[in-house]
Amino acid sequence: MNFYIIIPAHNEASSIALTLDSLVNQTLKPKRLVVVNDNSTDRTRDIIEAYATKHPCIELVNSKSSNEHLPGSKIINAFYKGFETLDENYNVLCKFDADLIFPLNYLEQIANHFDKNPKLGMAAGFCYIEKGDEWMLENLTRKDHIRGALKAYRKECFLQIGKLKPSMGWDTVDELLAKFYGWDILTDESLHVKHLKPTGISYNKGSKYLQGEAMYKMRYGFKITLISALKLAYKKRSFQLFKDYLAGYFLAKKNKIDFLVTEDEGLFIRNLRWKGILGKLKK
């Protein structure tokens, strides 16, 4: 099973070597590993070049973009700079972050999951962050959700969902569309991936409305957006975030921003979300 990996990297000099070490030493080697140096101003490029010299599977792509770290669009635009360099000889395509340390059997175990289930469209392990002397689960979302930091797609699923959307919420809409097309999604609790920089640490203030905008673009509708905003704000212990999420939703609606999904896909997504909400209420 051929694994192609794309890693967008912006100012990741402190972590990119650790990520690359963990990938080149996998029990199942990646066939291609493209690292996109996205307008870095530190030593990220030099480090990637050094690894590319030692390891034929690694390729450096340099890309220029804004230094503004808006979640979604920046990282996916960088991802596509790497994707453009690939051929079609892959079975699994991975989008990984540049601040992860993978267990050495990670790709082999993910390959086993894909081999066992031909309807498996996406698979991943779990992110762990360091707290004191321990590595603890980065518990930001449901355990059946694959984090944007470590996505692995079966080729056919990746193409059928229309690849990745350059928008906040891309790592949710990809799963929803995979389910729409009948693909299974799997998270393996035995695969602990060390996440060196907690999610959102480098997001700027300009991104505060994007979560609500993403809910609009996924055709959640107001009621599901309200419930989702309450849940997310409660988890992060911030009433201000709740207000920002709703403001983002209504701004997107007012400006008639383009949706990420079709009407039929949106109907499926709303039904799926209501099923999950009502299922939790019955417990």
Per the structure, the complete domain to which residue 32 belongs is given by 3-195
CATH for 71: 3.90.550.10
Q: Are residues 100 and 137 in the same domain?
A: yes
pLDDT band with cut points at 50, 70 and 90 for residue 74: confident
Q: What is the pLDDT of residue 205?
A: 54
The rounded percent of the chain whose pLDDT value lies above 90 is 80
- Asked whether residue 109 is domain-assigned, the answer is yes
Per DSSP, which regions of the chain are E strands? 3-9, 32-38, 58-63, 92-96, 100-101, 120-131, 134-137, 150-154, 184-195
Q: Are residues 141 and 218 in the same domain?
A: no
Q: What is the pLDDT of residue 203?
A: 46
Q: Are residues 38 and 133 in the same domain?
A: yes
The residues pairing with 227 across neighbouring beta strands, listed in sequence order, are none
Q: What is the pLDDT of residue 204?
A: 47
- Asked whether residue 220 is domain-assigned, the answer is yes
- Asked whether residue 186 is domain-assigned, the answer is yes
- Asked whether residue 203 is domain-assigned, the answer is no
pTM of the predicted model, to two decimals? 0.91
Q: How far apart are the C-alpha atoms of 94 and 106, rounded to whole Å?
A: 12
- Asked whether residue 123 is domain-assigned, the answer is yes
Tally the C-alpha atoms within 13 A of residue 121's C-alpha that lie toward its C-beta. 21
- Asked whether residue 157 is domain-assigned, the answer is yes
Mark which of 143, 166, 195 sits at the end of a domain: 195
Mark which of 148, 164, 195 sits at the end of a domain: 195
The rounded percent of the chain whose pLDDT value lies above 70 is 94
Render pLDDT for 235-259 as a digit per residue (tens, 0 to 9): 888 899 999 999 999 999 999 999 9
Q: Are residues 234 and 131 in the same domain?
A: no
Q: For 70-74, 86-90, 121-125, 265-269, which range has the lowest pLDDT when averaged over its residues?
A: 70-74
Residue range 15-38: mean pLDDT, rounded: 98
Q: Are residues 224 and 176 in the same domain?
A: no
Q: Are residues 27 and 155 in the same domain?
A: yes
- Asked whether residue 200 is domain-assigned, the answer is no
Render pLDDT for 13-24 as a digit per residue (tens, 0 to 9): 999 999 999 999
- Asked whether residue 95 is domain-assigned, the answer is yes
Q: Are residues 122 and 259 in the same domain?
A: no
* Structural domains counted in the chain: 2
